Amino acid sequence: MEYIPELSPSDSPSESTENTCDIADESAGGELFEIGQRFLFSDSSISLSAEDLTSMEEEDTTDEYKASTLDSEHRANGKSYMQWHGFLRKLKKGSTMHLHPFHPNLPHFRLIKKQLKRRRNAQSLSNFSLSDLQVATDNFSHENLIGEGGYSEVYRGRLEDGELVAIKRLIRETPTNKAEDYLSELGILVHVDHPNIANVIGYGIEGGMHLILPLSLNGSLSSVLSGQKEKLAWCFRYRIALGVASGISYLHEGCQRRIIHRDIKSDNVLLTEDFEPKITDFGLAKWLPDQWTQLTVSELEGTLGYLPPEFFMHGMVDEKTDVYAFGVLLLELITGRPAIDDSHQSLVMWAKPMLISKNYAELVDPSLGDAYDSEQMNRMVMVASICIHQSSTERPQMSQVVRMLKGNECIQPINKKFQKRPALRRTYPVEFIEEEECTA
C-alpha cells in the first residue's frame, strides 16, 4: 500500500524554538523525531528515551551486516529494516513500555510540551513472555481460537491474575510486514481513548508478535446477530449503533490526527457484558495527514460487502470509506442479515429496492416482531440509506451521523440517492479523478 502524495521534508516540523522537534532519522518505514530527551517513531508514535536509542546504536553490528547482505530491494530499505529491528529488540527487552498518546507531527510544539506534562502518567503496557501467553491460552489451543483474519488469529486467554483477555497473534509471512503492521496497530491503539474503542493491555514479541486486549464476553456483533440464541433486542441494537458511530466519529475528528479504520464491520465490533460496543482490529487503520483529502491503495484490503464504490473504481480511501461501512453495519442491525449472504448477495443490493420505495417495514428483522421503537428505526434506516450513497461526497460526516441517530439533526431527503450510474473500471491515478469525470 502507498500514500499519494508523499510528504515532503517541508511538511515535517522544523521550528527552531525551545521545544524544537528535529528529524533525527528518516526512512521509508517512517521518521524518528526528537522532542526533548525522547525520540518518537512517526508511524506508530512510540517514544524512546535518548538513552534507549543510544543503546540501540551501540549494540553489535550483526544487524548492520544482515542488512548489507539483503537482496537489492531490501538493501534499498536497509535503514528501515534496521530501524524496525532495533525497535523490536528494545520492545522485547522491556517489562513495560511507556507510550505517549500523541502524534509527533503537530503544528505547534508548545502544545506538545503541555501534553507531555499532562501525560506524565503515560499508559504503561505490560510485555508478556511467550510462556505467559501459552499458559493463558492452553498453548494456543484450537478450542481457544475465537477469530481469525487475513493476517491474524485471536485467542481467548486468562492471565495469571484471572483477567480474561483476547490475544491477537500476527501470522503474516515476512518479518518486515509483521513489524510494520504490528507497530502501526500498537501505535494507533495507544493513541485512542474512547469508551467505544477496545483498549490494549499489553504486547508480546517473543515467539511472534502479539497484542493483548480485554475479552468482550458477548463476542462480536456478527456472532450475536447470526447466533441461534435469543435474538438481540432492539434497545441493544440502537445502543450499539450509537456507540459505534460515536467511536468512528472520535477516530475521524476527536484525535490529534485523523484515523481511518478501513475495516469497520460487525466482526470487528465486540460487545461487553452490558452490550456496549467496542471497535477493534486496527490492522488496516491509517493516519491521514491534515493536508491530504484521500489516500490511494493498490491492493484489495478490507472486507467485501463493506467496501464503497470509489474503492473499487479508483482505490480511494478517506473518512467516507468508514461512513459507507457503517451504513452497511446499520443495515445488519436493522435486518439481522449479513453483509454478504450464503448466495453471495450483497446486503446493500438486497436493501436498495426497499429503501428507494421507502418500504421500511420490509427491512426490519422478522425476529423483532413489533418490539422496536418506530421513530428510532426510521432514523436508523434513513441514516443507513445516506451512508451507503454511491457518491462519497453525498455521505455525511460521522459526527453528523451521531446527531442524526439521536434525532438532534434533520436527515436530508434521499430522492435521488440511488440513481444508477455507468460502471467504471478501477484505476489507480496519481491525481484523483474529479467527480464529474467519474459520473459522466
Cell numbers found for residue 50: 535518548
Q: Summarize the annotated binding site as residue ranges.
A: 168
* Residue 215 phi, psi dihedral angles, 5° rounding: -85, 130
* Distances from the Cα of 367 to the Cα of 95, 227, 228, 371, angstroms: 49, 12, 11, 9
| Residue 399: predicted pLDDT | 97
**pLDDT tens column, 353-372:** 999 999 999 999 999 999 99
Active site (annotated) includes residue 263: yes
Query: Closest Cα to residue 325, out of 336, 309, 345, 344?
Result: 309
Higher pLDDT, residue 64 or 273? 273
**Quick one: average pLDDT of 322-345?**
96
Residues of the chain with pLDDT > 90: what percent? Answer: 45
pLDDT at 283: 82
Task: Give bridge partners of residue 125 from the DSSP assignment.
Answer: 97
Domain 221-438 CATH class label: mainly alpha
Mean model confidence pLDDT for the chain:
74
pLDDT at 85: 59
44: cell is 506508530
pLDDT of residue 293: 66
The more confidently predicted of residues 436 and 291 is: 291
Question: Three cell numbers at 57?
Answer: 546504536
The band of 92, judged by pLDDT with boundaries at 50, 70 and 90, is low
Contact (CB, 8 A) for 234 and 372: yes
Name which residue leads in pLDDT, 116 or 129.
Answer: 129
Which amino acid, residue 75? R
Residues 251-281 have pLDDT tens digits of: 999 988 899 999 999 999 999 999 999 999 8
**Cα 71 to Cα 83: distance, rounded to the nearest angstrom:** 18
The answer on pLDDT for 170 being more than 90 is: no
Q: Which of 43, 132, 263, 281 is catalytic?
A: 263
Q: Is the pLDDT of residue 156 over 90?
A: yes
Task: Give the position of cell 551486516.
Answer: 65
pLDDT at 288: 80
Query: Which pLDDT value is given to residue 287?
Result: 84
Please report, in range form, the residues annotated as the binding site for ATP. 168
Number of C-beta neighbours around residue 82 at 10 A = 20
- Cell readout for 274 is 452490558
Alpha-carbon gap, residue 168 to 166, rounded angstroms: 6
Rounded Cα–Cα distance for residues 180 and 185 (Å): 9
pLDDT in tens, 279-326: 998 888 988 877 666 677 767 788 999 999 988 888 888 999 999 999
Share of the chain above pLDDT 70, in %: 61
In the chain, where the domains are located: 9-121, 128-214, 221-438
Which pLDDT belongs to residue 147?
82
What's the sign of the alpha-carbon dihedral 224, 226, 227, 228?
positive
Q: Is residue 48 over pLDDT 80?
A: no
| pLDDT (0 to 100) of residue 31 | 41
Q: Letter for the amino acid at 14?
A: S
* Residue bearing the bigger pLDDT, 24 or 351: 351
- Looking at domain 128-214, does it have CATH number 3.40.640.10? no
Query: How far, in Å, are 73, 178, 427 from residue 67 at the CA level?
Result: 11, 17, 35
Q: What's the rounded Cα separation, in Å, for the pair 351 and 246?
A: 24
Q: How many residues does the chain have?
A: 440
pLDDT per residue over 178-188, tens digit each?
Answer: 567 677 788 88
C-alpha–C-alpha distance, residues 276 and 157, integer Å: 21
Cβ count near 71 (within 10 Å): 7
Q: Which of 8-22, 184-198, 222-236, 244-258 has the lowest mean pLDDT?
A: 8-22
Is the pLDDT at 137 greater than 70, yes or no? yes
Give a three-class secondary structure readout of 336-402: CCCCECCCCCEHHHHHHHHHHHCCHHHHCCHHHCCCCCHHHHHHHHHHHHHHCCCCHHHCCCHHHHH
Residue 428 has pLDDT above 70, yes or no: no
Q: Helix axis angle, 374-387 relative to 398-406, nearest 10°? A: 160
94 has a pLDDT exceeding 70: no
Give the pairing type, strands 38-41 and 30-35: antiparallel
Non-local (6+) Cβ contacts of 140 within 8 A are 133, 134, 153, 155, 169
Instruction: Tell me the C-alpha distance between 401 and 4, whole Å.
Output: 28
Which position has the grid cell 460487502?
305
Distance from C-alpha of 387 to C-alpha of 308, rounded to nearest angstrom: 10
Supply the pLDDT for residue 171.
76
The per-residue pLDDT for range 360-407, each reduced to its tens digit, is 999 999 999 999 999 999 999 999 999 999 999 999 999 999 999 999
77 pLDDT more than 60: no
Average pLDDT over residues 54-61: 45
pLDDT tens profile 228-251: 778 899 999 999 999 999 999 999
pLDDT of residue 382: 96
Instruction: Report the distance separating Cα 256 and Cα 399, nearest Å.
Output: 16
Q: What is the pLDDT of residue 90?
A: 59
Mean pLDDT for the stretch of residues 327-350: 96
pLDDT recorded at residue 172: 60
3-state helix, strand, coil in the chain (%, to 5): 40, 15, 40
- For 234, the 3-state DSSP assignment is helix
Contact 50, 40 (CB under 8 A): no
Q: What is the DSSP letter of 166?
A: E
> What type of residue is 301?
E
